[in-house]
Amino acid sequence: MNRTCAVAALVVAATCTTASADSPRLKGSYAFTGTAACLVAPGGVPGTSPLNNPTPGVALPNSGFKPNLQPNDSGPGLSSNAYTHSFSVEGVRTFDGHGNGTVNGTVVGITGRPTPGPTGFPHFPPSASAADFHFNFTYTVNGDGSWTGTMVPGSYLETFTAGPRAGQTATVDAIPPVSGVISNDGKTLIAAHVAPVPETHTFSNGDVDPQICHRSRVFIKIQDSDDDHDNDHDH
């Protein structure tokens, strides 16, 4: 229990501690794997037959989440179109040593029953999918060995390579920050979301899906920069 509390304290500290002059450095390329799942709240339009998207590129009025993080179209007498999507990722996150970096990866996911439909909008059956993605991020490293990474808004691009959306692209307005800790030798990192935050997934076919996701990642150092050394992580 003490060890769990200590790790939790470090993760929380990453969101509220300003990096100090003697903070450990974080530089180089790290391979990562991880898992995630999202509660998607697209809203919906009722109908007796399948309907086309009535507002391409714009979220439906009853999409998104209430302040208590339940879908807006949920409640007594309502039939919510919310559904869940789970996926795994692998890729490489590169830190430049000055607070900026890039992420390149591949995601494989499944969307299981129940899914919206079969009538009205949206409507689709369960499926699997795969995509490649890229985004830029900024990061801070704190003197206690914790770190936080934040996606640069507008930098996320996803290209679907398999599944019903193969050939489509997608963006996410702002993946919520991830926070975690750095191992003593600087060669392993962990990170996860520490709060449920809505984000918006927008697809090139005009679908717009508000969602709340949990994500966790483990990173292993695979390459130093030319001027980077293991002892860069020492105080």
For 91-105, write each residue's pLDDT tens digit: 999 999 999 999 999
**Is 50 exceeded by the pLDDT of residue 130?**
yes
Kindly report the pTM of this predicted structure: 0.85
DSSP for residue 118: S
Q: Are 157 and 90 spatial neighbours (Cβ–Cβ below 8 Å)?
A: no
Q: Are 165 and 189 spatial neighbours (Cβ–Cβ below 8 Å)?
A: no
Lowest mean pLDDT among 2-11, 78-87, 119-128, 200-209: 2-11
Q: By percentage, how much of the chain surpasses pLDDT 90?
A: 82
pLDDT for the residue 225: 57
pLDDT band for position 16 (50/70/90)?
A: very low
Q: In 3D, which of 22, 21, 18, 8 has the Cα closest to residue 180?
A: 8
pLDDT band for position 169 (50/70/90)?
A: very high
Distinct helix (H) and strand (E) counts, the chain: 1, 11
**Is 80 exceeded by the pLDDT of residue 39?**
yes
pLDDT for the residue 224: 74
Which residue is listed with tokens 């989440």? 65
pLDDT for the residue 83: 98
Task: Compute the average pLDDT of residues 127-143.
Answer: 97
Higher pLDDT, 5 or 222: 222
Task: Compute the average pLDDT of residues 8-27.
Answer: 48
